[in-house]
Amino acid sequence: GNSVTQMEGPVTLSEEAFLTINCTYTATGYPSLFWYVQYPGEGLQLLLKATKADDKGSNKGFEATYRKETTSFHLEKGSVQVSDSAVYFCALSGTGTASKLTFGTGTRLQVTL
């Protein structure tokens, strides 16, 4: 079946540091890939997405590139802010089961001044 593996957290960074959160996946066919963010006490917000190989999703300074050869979708941001502190989830939507998202375990990011 489909699965998503994310790096363990928490990740603690100083403001303006570079962020990378690793995500790899296992899936048949050509899944769509997503990053969601969850702030305390809230639901999930879609951060960015990529639907085919070599696509780059980007939003609010965050980027991730769909790498089929390494089955990866790593999240990056050049300069994090305190307001980026949240839990980040990598997810995939498989071929033929388009409305079922498979999530990684989530990575908590804490950004300090």
Residues that bind another protein (CB under 8 A): 32, 36, 42-46, 49, 51, 89, 91, 93, 95, 97-106
What is the smallest separation between the CB atom of 113 and another protein, expressed in angstroms?
28
Instruction: List CB contacts of 92: < 8 A, sequence separation 6 or more.
Output: 2, 4, 25, 27, 31, 32, 33, 34, 101, 102
What is the smallest separation between the CB atom of 109 and another protein, expressed in angstroms?
17
Could you give the C-alpha distances from 62 to 34, 75, 97, 99, in angstroms and in order?
A: 12, 7, 27, 24
What is the smallest separation between the CB atom of 12 and another protein, expressed in angstroms?
20
Query: Please, what sign has the CA dihedral across residues 67, 12, 77, 89?
Result: positive
The residue among 17 and 110 lying less far from another protein, judged by its C-beta, is 110
Instruction: List CB contacts of 55: < 8 A, sequence separation 6 or more.
Output: 65, 66
The residue among 28 and 79 lying less far from another protein, judged by its C-beta, is 28
What is the smallest separation between the CB atom of 5 and another protein, expressed in angstroms?
12
